[in-house]
């Protein structure tokens, strides 16, 4: 029996199916009576969800170029993360729970550092302050074919500004996620173009092996 906490993160671009797969895994673990929480970034706590609304809300005025500076935007993400870590992630680790998180620090690297050229040193400095020794035990990177993520994005009834970027933005971000995961033992890259039961079984089997269910 695994007697420690286990921190699992799902990463990928919009329309990769990461939120869906995170929820499926959560339900599977709940069914076998595991102490597990499902959370997300930005958000996860009441205070962090308030910040999420500011970040993801379509606050641009139509036909006007009004937007946050990239460092303002990044600091909002990091502020939400600080609230999330202190009020949810750290307590869950202390309680030896399994944590499933939809997005974490790799999204900041892919979108802010590689996507918007925010300084890695700047983000790393703040991460050292707010994360301490906390890091994921396992990260799933879900890669997806172009036709699949576009089809999923078109089907979404409610969209935020991150669902409306140019296709080339998503394709570049996906390459950046894959670059982050390269040659790292605690990363698993899976194709989620179909979101099939086979994928769900693969993910669950990996977790069963890691926590000795």
Q: For residue 177, give its domain range.
A: 6-211
Name the average pLDDT for the chain. 90
Nearest Cα neighbor of 1 from 152, 190, 213 is 213
Q: Could you give the percent of the chain with pLDDT greater than 90?
A: 71
184 domain-assigned:
yes
Please state which of the ranges 57-66, 74-83, 107-116, 130-139 shows the lowest mean pLDDT.
57-66
**Comparison of pLDDT for 139 and 196, the residue scoring more:** 139
Residue 36: cis peptide before it, omega within 30 degrees of 0 = no
How far apart CA 102 and CA 48 sit, in angstroms, is: 14
85 domain-assigned? yes
70-84 vs 120-131: helix axis angle to the nearest 10?
20
**Which H or E element spans position 25?**
helix 18-31
Is 63 inside any structural domain? Answer: yes
Percent of the chain, pLDDT > 70? 92
Which range of 57-61, 83-87, 167-171 scores highest in mean pLDDT? It is: 83-87
pLDDT digits (tens, 9 = 90+) for 109-137: 999 999 999 999 999 999 999 999 999 99
Tell me phi and psi for residue 5, to 5 degrees: -70, 160
Structural domains in the chain (count) = 1
The DSSP code for 76 is: H
In a domain, 124, yes or no: yes
pLDDT band at residue 15, thresholds of 50, 70 and 90?
A: confident
CATH number assigned to the domain comprising residue 71: 3.40.50.300
Tokens 């009441």 belong to residue: 46
Dihedral, CA of residue 189, residue 83, residue 30 and residue 15, to nearest 10? -40
**Mean pLDDT of the 138-145 span:** 96
pLDDT of residue 61: 46
Average pLDDT (151-174) is 80
pTM equals 0.91
pLDDT in tens, 21-60: 999 999 999 999 999 999 999 999 999 999 998 887 755 4
Whether residue 165 is contained in a domain is answered as yes
Looking at the domain assignment, is residue 1 inside a domain?
no
């Amino acid at each position: 029996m695994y007697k420690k906490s286990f921190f699992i993160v799902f990463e990928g671009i919009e329309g990769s199916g990461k939120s869906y797969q995170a929820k499926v895994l959560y339900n599977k673990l709940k069914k076998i009576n595991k102490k597990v929480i499902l959370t997300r970034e930005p958000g996860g706590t009441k205070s962090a969800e308030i910040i999420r609304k500011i970040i993801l809300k379509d606050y641009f005025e139509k036909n006007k170029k009004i937007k946050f500076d990239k460092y303002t935007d990044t600091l909002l993400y990091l502020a939400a993360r600080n609230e999330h870590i202190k009020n949810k992630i750290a307590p869950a680790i202390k309680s030896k729970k399994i944590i499933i998180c939809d997005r974490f620090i790799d999204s900041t690297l892919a979108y802010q550092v590689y996507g918007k050229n925010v300084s890695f040193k700047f983000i790393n400095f703040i991460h050292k302050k707010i994360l301490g020794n906390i890091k994921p035990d396992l990260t799933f990177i879900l890669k997806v074919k172009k036709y699949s993520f576009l089809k999923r994005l078109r089907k979404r009834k409610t969209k935020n500004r991150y669902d409306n970027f140019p296709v080339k933005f998503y394709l570049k971000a996906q390459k950046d996620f894959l670059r982050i995961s390269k040659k790292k033992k605690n990363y698993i890259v899976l194709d989620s173009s179909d979101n099939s039961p086979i994928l769900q079984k693969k993910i669950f089997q990996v977790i069963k092996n890691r926590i000795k269910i």
